[in-house]
Amino acid sequence: MQNTYLRNPSRDNNHLLNDTTTYLTYFARVTEPPLEREKSNRLQLEIVAVSDGIRLLQRSGHMIGYLSQQDSLNLPVYGQLIKFSKSPVVIPPSLNPDQFDYQTYLNRNNIFHQVFLKPEEWVKDGMGYVNPLFNFSYKLRDYLLNALKSNHLEGETFGVAAAILLGYDDQLPAYLRQGYTAAGAMHVLTVSGLHVGIVFLFFQFLLGFLRKGKLGKGLKTMLLILLIWFYALLTGLSPSVLRAAIMLTFILLAKTFNRKGYVINSMAASAFILLVMNPSTLFHIGFQLSYIAVLGIVLFQKPIYSLLFVKNKLLNYVWEVTSVAIAAQLATTPLVLHYFNQFPTYFLLGNLILVPLSFVVIVSGMALLVTSFIPFFANYLGWITSGLIYLMNYVILWIEQLPAAVLHNIYISAFETGFFFVLLLFILQIFNERIHNFILPGMIIILILFSSFIFRSVKHQQQAALVIYGINKQTAIDLIYGKEHVLIGDSAMSVDTFNIGFNLQKHWVKRGLTGKPEWIDNQESYRNYYVHKSGPVIRFLDKTIVIWSKEVHQNYDCQDGKLKADILLVTGNTKEILQKLKPCVQPSLIVLDLSVPLFQATKWKERAKEMEIQLHDIREKGAYIWSNQ
């Protein structure tokens, strides 16, 4: 826990979180190579100093910096210092219910601020501290990526090869990422323990000539450990890679000193080391899935494998691979359902085909990288690797097209996830032939889970809720009644699947809204048995909501009398509306969505205070939610 104490920015007087002063100039060091995206370039920065124009003051803190596309040809490199004039801002919290909490995710990685810089707001300022090992690994990775590109790997095949071999997934198409997820083979695409194990076998084969004598064996062990750790560094030191690297290190050392290695002990020791280094790693989904998967294989693979006896060697190998896949999937399913709300139906088929295929891809890809300086071999291996990856992609896209390839919109709470793991432990005991002792507690756990599911289903049937979401420069009103809902918003948003998925989907799943919503444009009228929308006026049960925009205000004659509203939702540019609000509308509550400019939101707050009306600014307080539960 001391490490947590030391990492806490509240203990650092020089940290930007403890200094709200606006400075003239900020000095920062680039801590990782920049990532080029479609709309911007992303930097990881470490603040080293600030200046008020007179003094240079030491400051600390990590942040994300965003540079425009105009800077793509002038990006700083790892270790370079930049200075900029714009003040960093604290990373805002998520605004919508059940949305991915990006602020917490970054805070756990010790990143608390962000800054968006135009070309004229920053300049390079020499070189700062450069870790020689990291610098070498970054340069080597760039060299190896270029080696892939120059040897027949391009487009989709390059994106997959870079992800599988080097952990570089920035050029991986979204549809392929989705396809591997649907096939239950995402672990093939992201560098994990599987890849570290295959790379270990590859280098073990290359160093096979060192197997004789104590000196040879000791040298081989040392070289293997160094190569494993350098590969971990090269691929980004993710929790799953670190877990595999530490465990393999323990196993190799135990073998060298003629000690028997125990996988569970190695797992526990590696987890302890990672958590001492960074306690917040515990909350990393990759860390949780990696350890649970390995634990599942250790505990469940043998009992599952023993269920069938297969004489044929080939079929026995197939069954062995299948038992590993079942064990890993069985152990990770509660977490997968909890975090991702979906289940890959054909995970067995996907793993049976893709795991052996990925083994060949990694071996051929590693051989390509090792021989990249020999054009003849690299060119030949490039053709092979490209063809194999094309086949992998074809298989996953075929699996994705199969009927019910993915079961979507499955929700289990953290409470239920815990009980699922307890149930798995009871199943393990049943496998170990202690069935009589665990039938009753197992049945009790199943009863608790079913009771929880039934209670939630009844709750969903009886729910009524109104949610006004916080979506950048857009309006979105969700009217929920039972397991149906009407979504009112800008027409552009109806086809914006990314915004819907990122901002709304998790909340819909939690509320049991598995079907598509009835989509209504802001300007349309609509009526069903629980919603009546006429122009800007919405009646939902006993609530009246008025969408008040510049266009509505211009077309509404205030002499017709005041509009009485439970909620006045203000949208868009509202400069003219603000002055004439009082004669036109009498609301109980004013809600400002994210389409209202920031400077106008400030004026609305002042106006609401004068009129003694409550105001909810989504930008500050998050989505507005009314619910009967």
The three-state secondary structure class of 519 is strand
Question: For residue 240, with 0-12 CB atoms within 10 Å meaning exposed, 13-18 middle and 19 or more buried, which class applies?
Answer: buried
Q: Is residue 241 part of a domain?
A: no
Could you tell me if residue 222 is inside a domain? no
> Quick check: is 169 in a domain?
no
Query: 22 lies in a domain?
Result: yes
Q: Are residues 530 and 618 in the same domain?
A: yes
pLDDT at 561 over 80: no
In this structure, are 449 and 571 located in the same domain? no
- The verdict on 426 and 504 lying in the same domain is no
Range of the domain at 448: 414-462
At 170, give phi and psi (nearest 5°). -70, -20
What does the pLDDT look like over 51-62, one tens digit per residue? 988 889 999 999
**544 plus 434 within the same structural domain:** no
How many domains would you assign to the chain? 3
User: Which of 507, 473, 472 shows the shortest CA–CA distance to 487?
Assistant: 507
Claim to verify: residue 620 and residue 478 sit in the same structural domain: yes
pLDDT at 434: 64
Whether residues 470 and 613 share a domain: the answer is yes
Task: Tell me the two tokens of residue 194.
Answer: 């599987």
Based on the fold, state whether residues 430 and 564 are members of the same structural domain.
no
422 within a domain of the structure (yes/no) = yes
pLDDT at position 485, please? Answer: 94
Question: Looking at residue 10, what is its pLDDT?
Answer: 65
* Same domain (yes/no): 54, 93: yes
Q: Which residues of 589-616 are buried (b: 16+ CB within 10 A; e: fewer)?
A: bbbbbbbbeeebbeebeebbeeeebebb
Q: pLDDT tens digits for 532-559?
A: 998 888 999 989 998 888 776 666 666 5
Question: Residue 1 — very low, low, confident or very high, per pLDDT cuts 50/70/90?
Answer: very low
Q: Is the pLDDT of residue 352 over 90?
A: no
Handedness of CA 393, 399, 400, 406 (dihedral sign): negative
- Domain C-terminal end among 130, 149, 181: 130
- Specify the pLDDT at position 575: 65
Which pLDDT does position 6 carry in this prediction? 47
Is there a domain that residue 555 lies in? yes
Q: Say if CB 108 and CB 286 are below 8 A apart.
A: no
Q: Is residue 192 part of a domain?
A: no
Cα separation, 40 vs 396, in Å, equals 30
Q: Is residue 26 included in any domain, yes or no?
A: yes
Give the domain CATH number at 63: 2.40.50
Residues of the chain with pLDDT > 90, as a percent, come to 37
pTM of the model: 0.85
Q: What is the pLDDT of residues 435-446, one digit of tens each?
A: 667 778 888 999
Domain end among 91, 111, 130: 130
Instruction: Tell me the two tokens of residue 256.
Output: 């060298």
Based on the domain organization, do 530 and 551 belong to the same domain?
A: yes
Examine the fold and report which residue of 71, 95, 130 is the final residue of a domain before the chain moves on: 130
**Cβ partners under 8 Å of residue 606, min gap 6:** none
What average pLDDT does the chain have?
86
**Quick one: pLDDT at residue 5?**
42
- Indicate if 497 and 455 belong to the same structural domain: no
Same domain, 506 and 591: yes
Question: What is the mean pLDDT of the segment spanning 400-420?
Answer: 92
In the predicted model, is pLDDT for residue 560 greater than 80?
A: no
% of the chain with per-residue pLDDT over 70: 93
Question: Are 489 and 611 part of one and the same domain?
Answer: yes
pLDDT reported for residue 557: 62
